[in-house]
């Protein structure tokens, strides 16, 4: 077993805890400035049967809902109960019936972002016309309305965060049009695992951030709370599914839902605690810290962490000729973890090794993005840790940095010199996180 990092990292148990837990503070300048969480508009009680009927109805009408469903792959059929639990996976997809639903099961393997930033999409097509001029036809942005049912709160919460970069120096029409066309009902989460840490990044398992409605499991169904005009409109369009709460049951169902959410919140809160301001300062001042020098050793540079991440949004742009003089321009998912991401035409690569690339991942999410946009670029969904083929553990790494930052702020005069004082070669290159 790896030795615990100085002070406060526990690696021998199921949970990561920081001993000197510092309370994360909301709305510190530059730490987190999220739009106020929308207030509840209406409450409904939707039985499990009514939800199933709604899903079937939407599919029959040719407007299937997007929802978590069991995967059925070439080798592993997750609907087969004899398949090991670790091999049974779920994914978001357009469901053709309620039988496919996998609500409240393992986190879908890809996040919801593919419905707003598809792995590949056409930006425009081009052709050279008879006169030798190039004509461009932009991709249409009139997307059909779609509804997502049972989204993970940590996926939904990512959307308003990414909205900021998508509307920063340029308003991304495709992203915005898909956002506008989509109504999202999240499902409060009660199945966290050791990789989750939403409560360490200002969220919780029942966050309504980004959602038009929130479902919370209660006896025989779900308490549904609408949070936006889109949420209200969807409920109004399906009155047979959204039963108004009968007088008297209102309080009981709401209290039960509160208890479910509070219990889940408490469980996750035990996983990790971060002091974001201190973390950000440490990251800002320790670009060359020896801590980074071993972090990329086991990393494959494969970018699975970015593919599965709800907040990673980098894309590459390619022109694809269909023939002489015509073709399409597309954008495709990309990731800072690959060696070619920053490769210059000259052959120079400013991020020459995987340490530098892994540092970029942490810096972007916990320093640069919060600094620029006020939001941490991470919802603590834990997908990156779960999906990483070499078991890089983001929560463990963050806990280690948090501990370093805490140690230095306890001895402020050393802070600035830390990177010069420590010698990279002396740091035992073992797990990376605990060196």
Partner 1 sequence: MTDLSTFEPRVTAFVCNWCTYTGADLAGTSRLHMASNVRIVRLPCTGRIDHLFIVKAFERGADGVIVSGCHPADCHYTAGNYHARRRFGVFRELLTFMGIDPQRLTFSWVSASEGRKWQDVVNETVDRVRRLGPFDSYHGLAGAATAADDPFAAIEATAASSDAPEHRGAS
Partner 2 sequence: MSDLQDTARRLLDEGTVQVVIGWEASRLGARPVFVTSADDCDKLIFDTRCVHNLATFLNPRRVQVAALGKAAVVVKGCDAKAVAGLLREAQFERDAVVTIGVRCGGVVSEPSGLEPPELTSANVAARCPGCDVREPASVDFLVGEAQPEPPVTTSLNERIGELDALSPAERFAFWTGELSRCTQCYACRQACPLCYCERCIVEKSQPQWIETSPHPRGNFAWHLTRAQHLAGRCVGCGECERACPVGIPLGLINRKLQQVVHELYGYTVTDDPAVPAPIGAYATDDTQDFIK
* Binding residues vs partner 2 (CB under 8 A): 1-2, 11, 13-14, 16, 71, 73-76, 82-84, 86-87, 89, 91, 109-110, 119-120, 194-195, 294, 296-298, 300-304, 307-308, 316, 318, 320, 330, 332-333, 335, 338-340, 353-355, 385-387, 389-393, 396, 428-431
Q: What does each C-alpha distance from 310 to 110, 115, 162, 346, 400 come to in angstroms?
A: 8, 11, 9, 33, 23
d(CA 157, CA 211): 7
Residue 309 binding target from partner 1, ligand SF4, partner 2, none, CB below 5 to 8 Å by type: ligand SF4
Centre a 10 Å sphere on the Cβ of residue 204 and count the other Cβ atoms it contains: 23
- Measured from the CB of residue 231, what is the shortest distance to ligand SF4 in angstroms? 24
d(CA 384, CA 112): 14
Residue 378 binding target from ligand SF4, partner 1, partner 2, none, CB below 5 to 8 Å by type: ligand SF4
State CA 361 to chain mean position distance. Answer: 14
Pairing of strands 146-151, 134-138: unpaired
Compare residues 331 and 365 and give the one whose CB is closer to ligand SF4. 365
Torsion angles phi and psi, residue 256, rounded to 5: -65, -45
State CA 144 to chain mean position distance. Answer: 24
- Identified binder of partner 1 from the candidate list 125, 249, 300, 342, rule CB under 8 A: 125
- Measured from the CB of residue 115, what is the shortest distance to partner 1 in angstroms? 6
d(CA 402, CA 161): 22
Compare residues 118 and 160 and give the one whose CB is closer to partner 1. 118
d(CA 413, CA 245): 60
Centre a 10 Å sphere on the Cβ of residue 232 and count the other Cβ atoms it contains: 17
8 A C-beta contact, residue 97 and residue 123:
no
Using rule CB under 8 A, residue 137 touches partner 1: yes
Identify how many contiguous H helices and E strands the chain contains and give both numbers.
14, 12
Residue 87 binding target from partner 1, partner 2, ligand SF4, none, CB below 5 to 8 Å by type: partner 2
276-315 footprint of ligand SF4 as x/- string (CB under 6 A)? -----------------------xxxxxxxx-xxxxxxx-
d(CA 80, CA 136): 48
- Identified binder of partner 1 from the candidate list 139, 297, 302, 427, rule CB under 8 A: 139
Compare residues 46 and 399 and give the one whose CB is closer to partner 2. 399
Using rule CB under 8 A, residue 316 touches partner 1: no
Torsion angles phi and psi, residue 164, rounded to 5: -65, -45
Using rule CB under 6 A, residue 203 touches ligand SF4: no
8 A C-beta contact, residue 147 and residue 200:
no
What single DSSP character describes residue 109? S
Compare residues 226 and 379 and give the one whose CB is closer to ligand SF4. 379
Compare residues 198 and 215 and give the one whose CB is closer to partner 2. 198
Sole window of 28-36, 131-139, 177-185, 330-338 interacting with ligand SF4 (rule: CB under 6 A): 330-338
Instruction: Give the CA dihedral 406, 408, 409, 413, nearest 10 degrees.
Output: 170
- Identified binder of partner 1 from the candidate list 322, 389, 414, 430, rule CB under 8 A: 322
Torsion angles phi and psi, residue 416, rounded to 5: -65, -30
Joined tokens for residue 236 = 């109004």
Report 365-394 residues binding ligand SF4 (CB under 6 A).
365, 378-384, 388-390, 392, 394
d(CA 157, CA 130): 49
Residue 312 binding target from partner 2, partner 1, ligand SF4, none, CB below 5 to 8 Å by type: ligand SF4
8 A C-beta contact, residue 145 and residue 183:
yes
- Measured from the CB of residue 91, what is the shortest distance to partner 2 in angstroms? 8
Residues contributing to the site for ligand SF4 (CB under 6 A)? 299-306, 308-314, 335-337, 361, 364-365, 378-384, 388-390, 392, 394
Residues at the site binding partner 1, with contacts judged by CB under 8 A: 91-94, 110, 114-115, 118-122, 124-127, 137-140, 143, 178, 320, 322-323, 326-328
């Amino acid at each position: 077993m790896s030795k615990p990092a100085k002070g406060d990292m526990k690696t021998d148990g199921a949970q990561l805890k920081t001993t000197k837990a510092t309370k994360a503070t909301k709305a510190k300048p530059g730490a987190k400035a999220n739009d106020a969480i929308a207030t509840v508009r209406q409450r409904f009680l939707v039985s499990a049967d009514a939800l199933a009927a709604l899903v079937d109805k939407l599919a029959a009408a040719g407007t299937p809902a997007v929802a978590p469903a069991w995967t059925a792959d070439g080798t592993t059929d997750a609907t087969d109960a004899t398949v090991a639990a670790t091999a049974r996976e779920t994914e978001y997809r357009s469901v053709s019936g309620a039988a496919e639903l996998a609500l409240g099961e393992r986190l879908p393997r890809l996040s919801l972002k593919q419905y707003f930033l598809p792995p590949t999409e056409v930006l425009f097509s081009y052709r050279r016309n008879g006169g030798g001029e190039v004509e461009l036809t932009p991709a249409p942005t009139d997307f059909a309305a779609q509804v997502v049912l049972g989204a993970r709160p940590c996926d939904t919460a990512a959307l308003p965060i990414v909205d900021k970069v998508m509307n920063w120096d340029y308003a991304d029409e495709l992203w915005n049009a898909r956002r506008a066309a989509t109504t999202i009902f999240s499902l409060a989460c009660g199945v966290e695992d050791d990789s989750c840490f939403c409560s360490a990044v200002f969220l919780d398992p029942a966050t309504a951030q980004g959602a038009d409605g929130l479902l919370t499991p209660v006896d025989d169904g779900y308490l549904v709370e609408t949070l936006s005009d889109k949420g209200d409109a969807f409920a109004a369009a399906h009155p047979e599914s959204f039963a108004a709460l009968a007088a008297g049951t209102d309080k009981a169902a709401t209290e039960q839902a509160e208890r479910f959410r509070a219990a889940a919140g408490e469980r996750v809160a035990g996983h990790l605690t971060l002091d974001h301001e201190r973390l950000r300062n440490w990251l800002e001042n320790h670009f060359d810290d020896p801590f980074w020098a071993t972090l990329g050793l086991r990393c494959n540079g494969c970018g699975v962490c970015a593919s599965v991440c709800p907040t990673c949004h980098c894309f590459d742009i390619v022109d694809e000729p269909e023939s002489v003089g015509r073709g399409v321009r597309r954008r495709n998912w990309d990731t800072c973890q690959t060696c070619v991401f920053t490769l210059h035409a000259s052959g120079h690569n400013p991020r020459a090794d995987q340490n530098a690339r892994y540092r970029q991942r942490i810096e972007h999410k916990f320093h640069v993005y919060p600094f620029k946009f006020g939001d941490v670029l991470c919802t603590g969904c834990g997908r990156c840790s779960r999906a990483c083929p070499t078991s890089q553990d983001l929560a463990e790494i963050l806990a280690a940095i948090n501990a370093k930052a805490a140690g230095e702020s306890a001895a402020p005069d050393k802070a600035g010199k830390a990177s010069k004082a420590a010698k990279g070669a002396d740091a035992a290159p073992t797990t990376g996180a605990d060196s």
